[in-house]
Structures are given as C-alpha cells and as structure tokens.
Structure 1
C-alpha cells in the first residue's frame, strides 16, 4: 500500500511515462529505497522532498511543490512549523491552533481552511 507521498510520486511517474528506476536515479537513490519510501517501509529522509521537487522541475512555492511537501507531511504523520523570526502574534496563533487542533469540529476546520485559502489567494493577486 502506498503512502500519500508514494501515491503522488507514482502519479507523477505515470503522467510523465517514467520508470521507478529513472525517478530513483534522478533523486539519487536506489529503486529499492524509493519503493520503500513510497510504501512507508522507509521514512522520508531530510531534504528528500526538496531534492525530488527540484529534479521534477518544480519551482519552490508552486502548486506542484506544495502538493509534494503536503503529501510528505501527511505521510510522516507530523507537521512542523518554524516560528523563529515570526511575530509574537504568529507564534501565539500557531501554538493555540496546535493545542486545540484535535478538539476542533469539522465545521470549524472548514472555516479555518477557508480563511487560509482566502489569504493565499489575496497574496497571489
């Protein structure tokens, strides 16, 4: 069974007509290792997602880059958020969200997601 990250990589391979061995070679790993990462038998090493994105030609911050990063975070089961250098308000908000995340109702999560997506759209305009 594939992890979310594995599913995304597999789809990219199929869409581009690539073989597992070709993608692994481009990422600088063996086919066996890439297969193990895709199925969750091996964890995603630090820097691996960025290396993969660059090989695939994804610009940092692009939708494709974000999709790969998000899939890796989901597969790891943990999301890290760097707060160093951010304002006190940013840090307090991140901590409050993390503290109450599991208790939030689906409707509240939808509202937060809608707000964040609106912020992203405004930034892109």
Structure 2
C-alpha cells in the first residue's frame, strides 16, 4: 500500500495532506475496517465535511469526537488521543495569561503571536525545548 502522507518532520517543513486529527481518524478507520462514508455517518456529518476536517479546511466541532468515540467503541485512551490530535490540528491557539499576568507577560505573548509565522523551524525548536524544561 502506498504511503498516503507527506513527510511532516520539521527538517523538511513540507505540510502533510492530513492534520494530526485526520491522521488519527484514518488510523481508526483502518483499525476498524471502515470507510470514510461509514465514519461520517456515525459522526453525523457528510463524508465531504469529514474529509475537510481531516485536511484542516474545516474546524472540528466539539460533538464529533464523542460521536466517533461512541460509534466506534473507542476506549478512554484512544478518545484522549483523538482529543489531543484535534488540539494539535487547531489553526488558532490562545495563550491564557492568567490573573497574575503583567506587562512583560503580555509583551512575550504578543511577540510569540506576531512573530511565530516568521520564525524559522530552528528557532521554534529552541523555544519548544525551553518550554519543555518548565
């Protein structure tokens, strides 16, 4: 079977056709032996809409994950993985500064928001490493 996805490693920077959520849905379909049309029916959406969610062209409605989890009898671990994949597939993220945020915190958050798209993969990797140490 041919590989359906592009290399998404940071070194290559080439986008995958599917989001992490789409990859997870595809894995569930393969594991359960069902087609996209079957999964869409159990999720209560059209096959086209499900496909657009997989590729990040449509947002993932909150009701989709519980419907898929129930429809395919996913356990808590697989359901949690699906939620995480949906979070990783989001196009926008919010930084919750919290009640103790000061002017410096806001400046850092704004710099991340405005500069992120212009950052190199190498700089993003450095930031990730710093944040993972926290």
Q: Which residue of 2 aligns with 1:67?
A: 85
TM-score norm. by structure 2 comes to 0.57
CA distance in 1, matches of 2:18, 2:111: 29
Q: Which runs of 5+ in 1 are unaligned?
A: 120-125
Corresponding residue for residue 99 of structure 1: 114
* TM-score, structure 1 normalization: 0.60
Between the two proteins, the alignment pairs up a number of residues equal to: 112
Do residues 8 (structure 1) and 24 (structure 2) align?
yes
**Distance change in 2, residues 1:38/1:105 (3 Å):** closer
Q: Check the 8 A contact 1:13/1:19 in 2, yes or no.
A: yes
Deviation track 1:69-104 (CA, whole Å, cap 9, x = no partner) reads 213x1xxxx322153745315544322211221333
Contact 1:3 1:39 in 2 (8 A): yes
Deviation (angstroms), 1:57: 4.2
1:114 aligns with 2:132: no
Superposition CA RMSD, Å: 3.4
Q: Larger radius of gyration, structure 1 or 2?
A: 2
Q: Higher helix fraction: Structure 1 or Structure 2?
A: 1
